[in-house]
Structures are given as structure tokens and as C-alpha cells.
Amino acid sequence: MSPDSRAPGLYDGIPMSEYLRIPGASNGLLRTLRDKSPMHARYKMTHPDEPTEAMRIGGATHTAVLEPDEWERRYVRGVDLDLRTKAGKEAQAELEAGNPHAEILKPEAYDLALTLREVVLAHPRARRLVEGKAERTMIWDDPETGVRCRGRADLWSDVAPVIVDLKTTRDAAREAFQRDIYTFGYYLQAVHYLNAASALGETRDHFVFIAIEKTPPYGVAVYDLDDDALMAGAEELRSLLMRWKKCEESGEWPGYDTRVTPISIPTWALRQVEGRTE
């Protein structure tokens, strides 16, 4: 079956490259709609972002923590040699030839992913939550707008009716992670995925983050997104899906406002200016 023809449902084992070809309003596309414009979201549908080093480390960490049985098949530790030297280039070429289907990580990235797995498994709450079905693809039609949606849950927990999302971060402290939840649209993602579960007849009552710091001492925090954030996300998500539906029906995906509009500096900057000039 072509990925484009998949019916609504829950799917396991779909590679990320195939998942990205499944049509539908994903969390990432909807966040682009929120932060940029429909035009940017439309472009991103056919031009997925190239993985950054941070994204590669995040993906490796997800596999190490959530799919340990897949770890050795998918990833190989790179050589501990300077790749600018002849010896380094030859060793790297030999490693690549012997592992054609695996991703070769820089030694520090490989080691970091394994370290983060250990700190998660050492955490009493996080350790229990990572038991379940990892990287579960969800395809559904939004009941209110009829928009075809897709999502990829990090973990569908077997020990509680929750969806677990693993986030690597620079700062897992409560106040800092609250900012990340808004800035990166995690609250929208939570509602989007919980809506998927409901639309597909599944019971998932909570959306839980496992936040892991990428630098020593590798702090881990577990957060259950509260009702206020979910209500705010539900309201905003409904508006975004309505915009998406309008674009799909009209075939028009406009960019930024064509009018000349007033602009200022951020409110916090205005307060700083006022403080310096008092």
C-alpha cells in the first residue's frame, strides 16, 4: 500500500521517511501556520527540513530510550579519529561500507544518546512510562473540520492511558520548560495527539513530557500538561485547522499580510528602554 493511500488508523513500524510523505495537517505544519504563514506551511509539505545535528541527536536518543532493540541496527559509533586525516577518512569509509543501512553518529553524539538512556532508566517515574509502543503513526480526520491529520507519537504507554513525549532540552527546569512548551508549540502537539486518540476510538487521558537535559548532570523531569494549557491549545488548534481547511478548499495558501502594517519593538524591550531613561 502506498503511504499516501493509508486509511485513518494507528500504524506501527512506518519509517520516518515514509511518514513525512503521508498527506495531512501535522503538528509541525500547523505550528508553521501559527508562526509564519499558510505559504510557509505549504512549502514545508514538499520540502521537509533537513535534519540538523540537534535533530539527529534527538532522533538517536529517542531510539536509544524508546526502541532499545532497534538501537544497534540503526546506529553505529563513528571512528575516534580526525576525519580530516588520511587515516580518519579511510577508517570512516571502511565503517560506512560495513554498515550501509545504519546511521553513523559522531562518537560524542552516540555516547550522549546512551548516557541519556541511562539517566531516563534511572528515573523512577520516567522508567515506568517508557514501556509501550514507540513511534506510533496516527492518521485521522478531524471531526469538526474534516481535515485529514497525521501525527507520530513518541510513545503510546502500556502502563497508563497517556501519550508520552520525549524532549531533549538545554534546561528541564519547570519555568524554562514552560517557555519551551509555548515557543515550540508543545501544547498544540498535545491537543492534536489527544484528539487523534479520541477520533480513533482510543482512551488517552493525559499528555506527559519526559524532559532530559543534554548537558551534565543530565537532569530529568516528568511533566503532565495541565487542563489550562490543553484548553488553550484546543482553542488555538481549532482556529488553525479552520485556516487549513479554508486553504485546502480554496487552493490558496497566502503569505504574509500584503498591507503596510505598524510595527514596534517587543513589549519587554519597551520596558527596558523605559527603565534606562527614567
Does the residue 86 lie in any domain? Answer: no
Each residue's pLDDT tens digit, 197-230:
999 999 899 999 999 999 999 999 999 999 999 9
Name the amino acid, one letter, at 210: I
- Tell me what the pLDDT averaged over the chain comes to: 92
Exposure string for 173-210, b = 16+ CB within 10 A, e = fewer: eeeebeebbeebbbbbbbbbbbbbbebeeeebebbbbb
Strand partners, 224: 208
Determine the 3-state secondary structure of 137 from DSSP: strand
What does the block give as the cell for 225? 500538561
How far, CA to CA in Å, does 41 sit from each of 112, 183, 187, 192, 244?
33, 17, 19, 17, 9
Does the residue 158 lie in any domain? Answer: yes
How many domains does the chain contain in total?
A: 1
Does the residue 27 lie in any domain? Answer: no
Host domain of residue 218: 1-13+128-278
Does the residue 113 lie in any domain? Answer: no
Does the residue 178 lie in any domain? Answer: yes
Each residue's pLDDT tens digit, 97-120:
888 888 889 899 999 999 999 999
Residue 3 confidence (pLDDT) above 60? no
Does the residue 200 lie in any domain? Answer: yes
Residue 2 confidence (pLDDT) above 70? no
Give the pLDDT confidence score for residue 4 in this predicted structure. Answer: 60
CATH code for the domain in which residue 151 is found: 3.90.320.10
Each residue's pLDDT tens digit, 137-155:
999 999 999 999 999 999 9
Q: Which helix (H) or strand (E) holds 268?
A: helix 267-277
Does the residue 76 lie in any domain? Answer: no
Name the amino acid, one letter, at 228: D
Give the pLDDT confidence score for residue 91 in this predicted structure. Answer: 81
Does the residue 147 lie in any domain? Answer: yes
Residue 21 confidence (pLDDT) above 50? yes
pLDDT cut 90: percent of the chain above it: 74
Give the pLDDT confidence score for residue 1 in this predicted structure. Answer: 45
